[in-house]
Amino acid sequence: MERIEINSYEDLYNVLDRLNESIDWNAFYSERKMPAPFLVNNTLPDKAVVEFAETHGIKDAVEFGCGEGRNAIYLAKKGVDVVGVDISGVAIDNAEKNKKDLVNVRFICSDFQSVDFNGRKFDLVIDGGMFHHLAPHRRLQYRDLVKSLLGDDGYFMLLCFSADAGGADELDDLQFYTKRNVGVSFSAQRIRNFFERDFDIINIKQRGDEKTDKYIDIPYLYSCIMRLKGK
C-alpha cells in the first residue's frame, strides 16, 4: 500500500488532486463528441473578447484554457502580442495549425502552475474556461498567478460557467471533493466572494446565445472583468 506523507504545500495539493476527477482533454479535442460551441466554431472568438478589444487598447495578453486558439488568434490579428496556454496537446497542435503564419501568438502546452513567465506582466489575462474546472485548492494558486501577471493597467477577463444558466452544477467547495466533480458553475456572488479581496470587479455579465461570422456568445457563461485593487 502506498504511504502518503504531507511534508509541503505541494504534497497537500497533490493529495487533494486525487479527490477530484479530471477530464481527458486530449480525447475531448480529438474525439469531438461534445457539441460545445467552442468546438463547433473553433475559429470564432468569444463576443466578450471582441467587445473588450474594441474598447481597450492592449499590447499584450495571455489566455489560460486557450483551447484551439480562437481568442488568442483573434487578438493577434489585431496586433496584440499573445501567449495561449492549454493543458491539451491536441488542442495546442490544432491552435498551431489555425494560427497559420501569425508570428505574434505563441502557444504553450502546460498546466497553469508549471508555466514560467520570467516576471513578465500583461495588459490582459483571459481565462477562456479553465477556472470552473479547477479544484478549490488549485483556484487559490491560480488567483495568485493572475495577480502576479497583471501590469499596472492590466485587466483580468474571466469566462466561467454561470449558475444562473445551468452551465454545470453549483456546488460548495466541500461537495466538489465528495461528489468528485469535473466542473462547477458560479453565482455572481460566489465570484465576488472569491476575487473581491484582491480585485475590483468592474462587471459580471450573463452572456447571450449568438453566433455571427465574427464571434460567438455562449449563453451558459458569465464574462467578468476585473482589475487589481488600487490600480
What would the pLDDT profile of 130-170 be if each residue is shown by its tens digit?
999 999 999 999 999 999 999 999 999 999 999 988 778 88
pLDDT bin (cut points 50, 70, 90) of residue 5 is: confident
User: How far is the C-alpha of 100 from the C-alpha of 213, rounded, in Å?
Assistant: 19
DSSP state of 219: T
Per residue in 83-102, pLDDT (tens digit) is 999 999 999 999 999 999 99
Residue 126: closest CA among 46, 216, 196: 46
What pLDDT was estimated at residue 123? 97
Across-strand partners of 64?
A: 85, 127
What would the mean pLDDT of 100-108 be, rounded to a whole number? Answer: 95
State how far the alpha carbon of 111 is from the alpha carbons of 30, 80, 193, 198, 220, in Å: 19, 23, 25, 23, 24
Q: What is the CATH number of domain 9-228?
A: 3.40.50.150
Q: Is 186 a residue whose pLDDT tops 90?
A: yes
- pTM of structure: 0.93
**Residue ranges of the domains in the chain?**
9-228
pLDDT value of position 136 = 92
